Amino acid sequence: MSLLDKFAAVKETKNALGCTGQDPTAVVFDTIDTATLGTVNGRKTILAGTNNYLGLTFDPACIAAGVEALETFGSGTTGSRMANGSYAAHIALERELADFYQCPNAGVFSTGYAANLGVLTALLGSGDVVLLDSDAHASLYDGCRMSGADVFRFKHNDVQSLEKRLKRLETRANRCLIVTEGMYSVLGDCAPLAEISELKQRFGVLLLVDEAHSLGVYGEHGRGVAEAQGVLDQVDFTVGTFSKSLGAMGGFCASRHEVLGLFRYVSRPFIFTASPSPSVIATTREALRQLRSRPELRNTLWASARRLYSSLQGLGYELGPEVSPVIAVRFRDRDTALSSWYQLLKSGVYVNLMLPPATPGGASFLRCSVSAAHTDEQISTIIEKFTELKVT
């Protein structure tokens, strides 16, 4: 078998995905007109699979901030912060994130993926232990594996499974990190962080929570599930991304531990990746300001999420376990999910197709992500198209 032969199976999978006439991994948007509307194959399409939770990608103030930064500082940084230095805006954003999370330190990375790899590989090493939720994002898995630590999974959102793992640590507890997410991106379910925090304190371990999909969505101030469950002060490291609610690109870590400031000296994704461009930092800072000053965005988001969830549930669809801005519709098999996804796309509604092995339990899903920018009419149209899908 040659080095390239392994791709024969990949090609078969790709061909199977295109059997409906449209490969879901190759959808091209001819135009993006608003936060919730684009054009695919000449057809106006409602965007219901973008993770654009607060709908800020077309916010005038965010765009103006990006344009000003482009004109003032240019299009890119052309290197890493370790090699080329930090721009004042990088430092300002880190201070603003630290203030937002009410902690002394925050660090910015070029992507959310890089943030998880960068933090985990800096924090962990040989001889350390990670207890990782079985449904955690690929970037968390990769970061844990690359760190060289001993990685043990516990059952998804199962506090008893986690406790059993902790009891087996014995003297290794002081070198252990629990890794979980706030809201999980496939089913929209949330981690029981209050119960996990109790275990964390009892066993004397550290806790990292990835709030990528819950930033701006949960909590009185939009700080995520940890805030919503009243345990933000128990989280040792909060990681996340700018590419969801903040409508930009990049990642971050916020921590109450002073050692976070030293991560930049040992974190390879930080040291060897070009720093975020001035325009990206500018739009992110403005979006963070909007998140903090406009709670009505969360209110609108949740009203639409509750409406869509209850309507699809009323139609008899099998959904995720709780109402959230991520609404996953389960299908009995891959082919049905694929054909249903294509029918929705042809009718002018774009959602995410999620297939095994990238899904919990090997199931197939159509995943909707609700935005504060969705109008009542657009939510009605999404419900209407799912109704037609149910009939056929």
The set of catalytic residues is: 185, 213, 244
Report the distance separating Cα 66 and Cα 183, nearest Å.
29
The DSSP 8-state label assigned to residue 119 in this structure reads H
Three-point CA angle 119, 120, 124, nearest 5°: 120
- For residue 301, report the phi and psi dihedrals to the nearest 5 degrees: -55, -50
For the chain, the helix, strand and coil percentages under 3-state DSSP, each to the nearest 5: 45, 20, 35
Strand order, beta sheet including 349-350? 29-34, 37-40, 43-47, 349-350
Report the distance separating Cα 314 and Cα 22, nearest Å.
29
Residues 6+ apart with CB under 8 A from 28: 40
86 CB-contact burial (10 Å; exposed 0-12 / middle 13-18 / buried 19+): middle
Q: Is the peptide bond before 192 cis (omega within 30 degrees of 0)?
A: no
Strand order, beta sheet including 176-181? 105-109, 251-255, 237-241, 206-210, 176-181, 129-133, 150-154
Report the amino acid identity of residue 259.
Answer: V
Report the distance separating Cα 235 and Cα 227, nearest Å.
10
Report the distance separating Cα 343 and Cα 150, nearest Å.
45
Whether 226 and 193 have beta carbons less than 8 Å apart is answered as: yes
Sign of the Cα pseudo-torsion (36, 38, 40, 45, in order): positive
